[in-house]
Amino acid sequence: MKLVLTHEYTSCTTQLCKIREKVRITCAQMGFKEADINLITLVIDEACSNIIRYAYCGDKSGRIILEIFQAETEAIFHLQDFAKCITASCLEVKEKKLTEPGGLGLKMMHQVMDSVTLLPPTSAIGNILELKKRLPEGL
Amino acid sequence: MKYEQASHLQYSVLKLTGEVDLHNSPQVRKQLLAILNAGHSVLVDFAALSYIDSSGIATLVEAFNLAKNKALSLTIIEATGAPLQVLELTNLNKVFPMLASLDDVKE
């Protein structure tokens, strides 16, 4: 597994466009087509938005580390925060009506990615969210 | 993200340009709710919109529900590319009225 990109951001909403740009460029370099790049960029943005809103509760000084790896058959995205540890149940999608608010970002993460997992914490604080997406055929 | 407000027939048009995300969706929400609370049906023009996230979509859902409660309408115009993909992914393309262009809007 090769580390393709690592970048640290603050937990400020102004950083989201910068994160999206890095993800778009890296996904294009890994051979994803435009439609997949759009969706992967969307879900990484959604995951970062959730970290800003729920992990750091709007505190703009938190740290978010984005790492992108290329494995033999998949792209692996790690998003690390240093907020209070959450449990895997926070990643479960609750069934709602289409016009009911809440949970949309998480639902999209599960729809777009092949796996969405919380890695075991490496320290007393923080979380690492791992998202995997199969690389395009023929690479 | 930029927005412009205009009129078309009996509708207010909110033209969105650029990217709508968690940073700027509150501005879009404020504009949309103001238009609807003033009693106008709204056309949300996506022609120059390159990105919308779930906070933007949630804003549209809230405005759509408000429009329905007020016997008004909210219609999305010219959704293509990444914004259309998000609407399709969430199945909201089956909920929101959508038109290919402003020329398709009837009085």
Whichever domain contains B19, its CATH number is: 3.30.750.24
Mean pLDDT over each residue of chain B, to the nearest integer: 97
| Over residues B7-20, mean pLDDT | 98
C-beta atoms of B89 and A108 within 8 A: yes
Which range, of A48-52, A134-138, B13-17, B75-79, averages the lowest pLDDT? A134-138
pLDDT at residue B85 tops 90:
yes
Q: CA separation (Å) from A66 to A4, A16, A136, B35, B72?
A: 11, 12, 22, 39, 43
Per CB-CB distance under 8 Å, the chain B contacts of A14 are 23
Task: Say if the Cβ atoms of A107 and B90 lie within 8 Å.
Answer: yes
Helices (H), A30-131: 34-50, 104-112
User: Which ranges in chain B belong to alpha helices (H)?
Assistant: 25-37, 54-69, 81-89
Q: What is the pTM for the complete model shown?
A: 0.94
**What pLDDT digit, counting tens, does each position of A96-134 carry?**
776 666 689 999 999 999 999 999 877 778 999 999 999
Give the structural domain span for B87: 2-104
Q: How many domains does chain B have?
A: 1
The ipTM estimated for the assembled molecules is 0.93
pLDDT at B60 (0 to 100): 97
Reported as a single tens digit per residue, the pLDDT across A60-102 is: 999 999 999 999 999 999 999 999 988 888 888 887 776 666 6
- Report whether pLDDT(B104) > 90: yes
**CA B19 remoteness from chain centre:** 13
**Residue, of B41 and A88, whose pLDDT is higher:** B41
Question: What is the model's pLDDT at position A127?
Answer: 95
Interchain CB distance below 8 Å, A42 and B82? yes
